[in-house]
A and B are shown apart, each in its own frame.
Chain A
Amino acid sequence: MVTIKPAGDQAVTVEFADRIDAAVNARVIALADALKARPVEGIVETVPTYRSLLVYYDPGRIRGAQLMPLLHERVEHLTEGGENTARHFRVPVCYRGDDALDLADLAEIKNISPEELIALHTAADYRVYMIGFAPGFTYLGGLPEALHTPRLAVPRQKVAAGAVGIGGAQAAINSLSGPSGWRYIGRTPLRLFAPERAEPSFFRAGDMIRFFEIGADEMAALERRAASGEAIVESEAA
C-alpha cells in the first residue's frame, strides 16, 4: 500500500513499504525514472531511497494538494522498468595491508580464514539501493548473511575514500574520507564521487555490483589511473 505524506512545504514522500527489499526499491526507482521521462510541472528534484521517493516541488508552481493525487496516479500506472535498465559493474577491491582495516578481526569473529571471508564477499551480487548521507556514498544490499556484523562501538575518526565496509546487514562503499563506525575489509581504487564528471556520483540507485579481488600493486596502478581522471571500471551488458 503506497502512502504519500507531506515532508514540510516543499516536499512529499512517496512510501512504497517499510522494508529493505529489491522489488520495493525497484518501484521507487521506476517512479523516479517515470517522473524524469514525463515530468510534472513544479517538481524540482527527487531522491530515491531504500523504500521511498522524496519529491521536492516548488509551491509557487504546484501545490502539495494538487501534486499528491498526481503522484498516486503515476504510481498506479507504474511499469516495472527498474530491473531491465539496471547497469552491472565489476568493482576491484584490495583486501590487503592498510586497506583491510577490520578484515582479520572480522574473520576471527566469524571463525573463518581471511581468504574464506574474501570469497564470501566477492561471490555475492549487490544492489545499489541508494546514494546518500555524503556525496556518492553508496548503500548496498545483498551482503551474505554470514557476513552480517554490528558496527563498531567506537567509530573511527577517519576512513579512506573507496573503503568497502559492512554495517549490520548492509554493505557500502565510502565516497569521501571521513568518520565511520562501519567495519572495513578492503578498498576500491574507483573514484565514487568526482564533481568534474557529467554524472558526479559514479553509481546510481538500481545499479548491480560484484566485487573482485586485486593485489596491492594493481591497486596502486589503478589508483594512479583513476586520479588522472581515467575511467577504470565500465558497466557490463546486463
Chain B
Amino acid sequence: MNRLEVARAGLMVSVQARPRTGYLAAGVSPSGPMDEAAFRIAQALVGNGDDAAALEFAQFGGSYRVSAPCMVAVTGGAAQVTINGRAMPLWESHALRPGETLEIGPMRGAVWGYIAFSGGIAVPELLGSRATHVRNAMGGFEGRVLAEGDLLPLGESALAPPQRLTEIFHYPQGPIRIVAGPQDDRFDSRAWTLLLTEPFSVSSRRDRMASLLDGPLLRAIGGHDIISDATPAGSIQVPGSGIATMLTAERQTTGGYPKIATVISADLPRLAQMPAGKPFHFVRIGQDEAEARLLAERERVEAAIRSIATPV
C-alpha cells in the first residue's frame, strides 16, 4: 500500500473528509473541511470521489513524501508549493514520486489550505466519515492533528495526466450575508444597528470550532443565557462578554447562548478564509434568498469541477 510520510508537519494538519451526518442527536458534530469548496476541488483535481479524505492545514502546509507514485493538488490561498524545489502552481494536479518531497510554505490571503492525494487518505471511516474531530479526538488519523514522522495509508491510484481548473475559482465579494435568528428577538434595535452598520473582523482567536469576531459588543435584552438548543454552522452566538462568536465545523451540537443570526452557507467558506483583522460588514437577507444563494454556490462549485481538464 502507498504510504504518506509527514516529513515536516504544518499547522493544524488534519485528515478531513465530507462532514459526518446522522449523529447530531447523539451529540456528534459534523466536523469536515472549513472550506468545502476548496476541499472538493482539490479532491476532484486528483480524481478522487466524494468519499475520499484529504489533508487540511492552517496557513502553513509542511512537507510530505510518498512510497508509491501518486497525483497531488493543493488549493486555498496563494502559497509557495514545490516538489523537490520545482515550483508547482496551486489548483492543479502534479505527479509526486517516491524520493521526492512536496513542500508547502505559508499561505497568503487565506487561512485554510487543502492537499489532496490520488487514492485518498485511507484511514477507516468512523460513523460514516473519515473527517477528524480534533476536540473530541475522533475519526481521521488517531483523532488528532498530524506530527512529523506520521505514516498514513494512501489508497491505490494510477498516475494520471496533470489537470487544472480552466478558470480561477473566486469567492463571492461584498458583505457577509446573514439570516436573522433564531434568538434575534433577544437583541434590541441598538444591537441590531451595531451588527448591521459597524465593521467586524475575524479575530486571531479562531479554530475549527468557532471564530471570535472583533467589533462592537452586542447586548442581549434579558441576559445571555438561554435554555440550550441546537447550533447550526454559521450561528452567531453572543455570550455574556458581548463578543459575537461564529460557530464552524467542529462546533458543539447544542449551546446555551442566544444566537442573533446565522451566516448563510454560501458565505461560510469565505468567512473561514478571511484573514484575521480584515474588516467586513454584515447584511441581512431572508431565508428564501439565502437558500437561493446556496443553490447557486453549489452549482458554481460543480461547474468549476466540471471545468477541470488536462491542459493541451
A interface, CB within 8 angstroms of B: 5-11, 13, 15, 18-20, 32, 44-52, 54, 56, 59-60, 63-65, 130-137, 139, 175-176, 193, 195, 199-201, 204-205
Contact = CB atoms under 8 A, between A and B. Distances in A.
Contact of A59 (B127, B180, B234, B294): B294
Interface in B127-146: 127, 136-138
Nearest to B139: A195
B24 interface: yes
Nearest to B229: A49
B27 A6 contact: no
B127 A32 contact: no
Nearest to A137: B27
A124 to B, nearest CB: 20
Contacts of A32: 25
Given A9-B264, A130-B254, A200-B26, A195 B138 contact: yes
A175 B137 CA distance: 13
Contact of A136 (B27, B137, B179, B252): B27
Contacts of B23: 135, 200-201
A7 B298 CA distance: 19
A132 B298 contact: no
A206 to B, nearest CB: 11
A7 B25 CA distance: 17
A13 B230 contact: yes
Given A132-B252, A133-B252, A200-B127, A8 B27 contact: no
A32 B167 CA distance: 44
B136 A176 contact: yes
B288 interface: yes
B137 to A, nearest CB: 8
Contacts of A13: 181-182, 229-230
A60 B295 contact: yes
Given A48-B25, A131-B27, A205-B25, A6 B254 contact: no
9 contacts: A6-B262, A9-B291, A11-B230, A51-B227, A130-B228, A133-B255, A193-B26, A195-B126, A195-B127
A136 B138 CA distance: 13
A175 B27 contact: yes
Contacts of A60: 295, 298
A45 B26 CA distance: 11
Contact of A133 (B27, B181, B232, B298): B27
Contacts of A137: 27
B28 interface: yes
B277 interface: no
Contact of A19 (B27, B126, B227, B291): B227
A59 B25 contact: no
Given A64-B288, A199-B26, A8 B232 contact: yes
Given A8-B235, A49-B230, A65-B288, A134 B181 contact: no
The CB with the most chain B CB atoms within 10 A, among A47, A130, A136, A204, is that of A47
A52 B230 contact: yes
A166 to B, nearest CB: 16
A176 B179 CA distance: 33
A54 B232 contact: yes
Contacts of B288: 63-65
A44 B21 contact: yes
Contact of A50 (B228, B265, B295): B228
Q: Which 9 A-B pairs have the closest CB atoms?
A: A132-B254, A8-B262, A201-B26, A54-B230, A9-B290, A59-B291, A47-B230, A6-B287, A49-B229
Contacts of B298: 60
Contact of B182 (A7, A56, A64, A195): A7
Contacts of A204: 25
Given A47-B254, A133-B27, A137-B27, A9 B294 contact: yes
A50 B287 contact: no
